[in-house]
Amino acid sequence: MRTLDDIDVAGKRVFVRVDFNVPLDKNRRVKDDLRIRAVLPTIRKVLDSKGKLILASHLGRPKGKPAEEFSLKPVGEYLARLLDLPVVPASDCVGREVERQAAGMEPGQILLLENLRFHPEEEKNDPEFSRRLASLAEVYVNDAFAVSHRAHASVHGITRFVPVCAAGYQLEKEVKYFREAMEDPKRPVAMIIGGAKVSTKIELLENLVAKADFLLIAGAMANTFLKAQGKEVGKSLVEDDHLETAARLLKKAQERGVKVYLPVDAVAAPALEVCGSAQQVSVDRVPSDLLMLDVGSGTLEVFESVLRTCRTIVWNGPLGAFETTPFHQGTFAMAKFLAGLDALTVVGGGDSAAAVRQAGLEDRMGYVSTGGGAFLEMLEGKTLPGLAALEECRQRTQP
């Protein structure tokens, strides 16, 4: 892929696909600006290089039609305060009025298009809609890793109609750290995989078994593996239709020499809402009326002893029901432990990344990905449409 440093944007209209899909409070004010701040280096580079900056994003799920609650105007106002510069809101993302605004821009100006998903053609990757977006600019930059697993018009289709395409700094950083952790890692490599269901991470586990030295499985998905080993797991969430899948993955790991670690104990309770009676139990003796909701102290000790030996660690998914006290303790303890290691630690996935941020440890990790689904699909070994589109654009326009 070309990167922003490979191209000259001076005097040109630069369409930058960003991910401003940020949470807003009831007064429509930005609650978490992580994704906005993540693309500030790209924004400042274009402005400092005398480019004409056109920003495009989606917000929420407006289902293909305009809705005031999903307007990007509050995000534009927040960005303007961050930059201490005017951010001009467009009334739409395509159409004559937007074309007029784009054509009249001066170097250093910023135009924020309205929500791309106000048009159903965006998610359909409609060629004509892609062409209309492309007509606004002379250069296209993708700095929205979190949506690069979607073959949408502003991520994929637009690259066929813009002569110059490049990756922004945030996207470039995401790919750099992923490749460092997964394609040419310093070994030993450990993968910590959490979350609720095996069924959503079969492809991920299949791929990791071929790449990792150690596989640490936790969260509710570990229950299915424990039951596949013949253990009784009480009322814990289990995917009975994936017991054979879990057993097959364990066998495949053994054949490849990958050491798999499952919880040895857990914090259990009668229900998620009945946390007052939570107790630590061995996974060999889980009472029939309890469900496991977090890893126990013994599991953390085992996991930590393995991770101390590793030079590369990738973490995807929480170790328990971390949104509810006291079942957050395992996930937060793991975040704190990883923050103190002398290893490359890459954290990806919405919940695990959120836990690291909530624990105030983001700056102490090697890298925390801004992408949930995109990061997961890269871990599964898939090619992201947004990245493939940038590569294809470069191939088409090489001398």
Q: Is 373 a catalytic residue?
A: yes
Give the sheet arrangement for strand 52-56, strand by strand. Answer: 88-89, 110-112, 52-56, 13-17, 139-142, 164-167
Q: How far is CA 42 from the centre of its chain?
A: 19
CA distance 209 to 215: 8
Task: Give whole-number Cα distances, 256 to 212, 214, 251, in Å.
Answer: 10, 11, 9
Q: Is 296 a catalytic residue?
A: no
Cis amide prior to 41 (ω within 30 degrees) = no
Q: Is 320 a catalytic residue?
A: no
Q: Is 248 a catalytic residue?
A: no
CA distance 282 to 232: 11
Q: Which of the residues 234, 320, 348, 350 is marked catalytic?
A: 350
Q: Which of the residues 2, 13, 35, 150 is marked catalytic?
A: 35
DSSP secondary structure of 365-398? SSEE-S-SHHHHHHHTTPPPHHHHHHHHHHHHH-
Contact 334, 314 (CB under 8 A): no
For residue 346, the 8-state DSSP code is: E
Sign of CA dihedral 146, 201, 117, 396: positive
Task: Give whole-number Cα distances, 302 to 12, 172, 189, 348, in Å.
Answer: 56, 35, 16, 22
Q: Which of the residues 373, 381, 382, 394 is marked catalytic?
A: 373
Q: Which of the residues 28, 131, 197, 231 is marked catalytic?
A: 197
Alpha helices in 49-126 (DSSP H): 73-83, 96-103, 120-123
Catalytic residues: 35, 197, 350, 373
